[in-house]
Structure 1
Amino acid sequence: MPTLIPRTTLIPDVVRLLGEEFGDQHPVRVEDYFEDGTYVVRAELPGMDPQKQIHLTVDRGELRLRAEREFVKHDKAHTEFAYGAFGRTLRLPEGADPAHVTAAYEAGVLEVRIPVRVKTEPREIPVKVAT
């Protein structure tokens, strides 16, 4: 006969697991804002080598950030550090100029700056009647 898990134990574990997987505890914390005609994205990526472990792409109006931290085995069996590959995809604002994206990494924070062209208002174009 299979062993049954008491309901009082199962429900909190499921809620905790869903909170970790689908809650606001994403492994890459990101903030974004506009500053002087530039869309700025900042991501916390402490302890990473930006040239080897951080990858950025811009394609089809999206900024994709991917990072990978490799596990290094130590003598102790306990760790609270996160290892593995993780990423985020952000939709770029209208008018973003993907050809002029810049990125810098300092003190564990990646900052991506994307210029945004001034949005032009739609204008009516008069149609001439041919005579």
Structure 2
Amino acid sequence: MTRVIFYEKPGCINNTRQKQLLAASGHEVIACNLLKEPWTSEGLKAFFQDLPLPAWFNKAAPAIKQGEIKPEELTEDQALALMLKEPLLIRRPLMLAEGERKVGFEVDEVKAWIGLDEPEGNPDLQTCPRSHEASSCKPA
């Protein structure tokens, strides 16, 4: 069993499914509100490691979907400043376990990292099921 600090948007359907899968796989999940966390640039950047800058962002965030923010045109400093101002821009979840930080929920990556049971039906645990709507995930 691994203790996973799980930064989520409370009520997000996929974050709920991800936490359930982690718990069903025997992990202890400590859920934290990503939107209320007192982030710093350094603290956020630690999660992004070697990811390309556009992968730091929540593609379902309204400002990105509407084209107001174009991650591929930003510097690291600009991206982090925007995320500190508007945490909805941060790709979810952010996870901390065994001294490592991860962003997003790639099943194969989580499985290799801390172990994970196969989800039934191979569901998409990354794309917001409400992404066809005008805004990002809303509380269920």
Q: TM-score, normalised by structure 2?
A: 0.21
Q: Please say which structure displays the higher CA radius of gyration.
A: 1
Higher relative contact order structure (alpha carbons within 8 Å, sequence separation ≥ 6): 2
Q: Which has the larger share of helix?
A: 2
Q: TM-score, normalised by structure 1?
A: 0.22
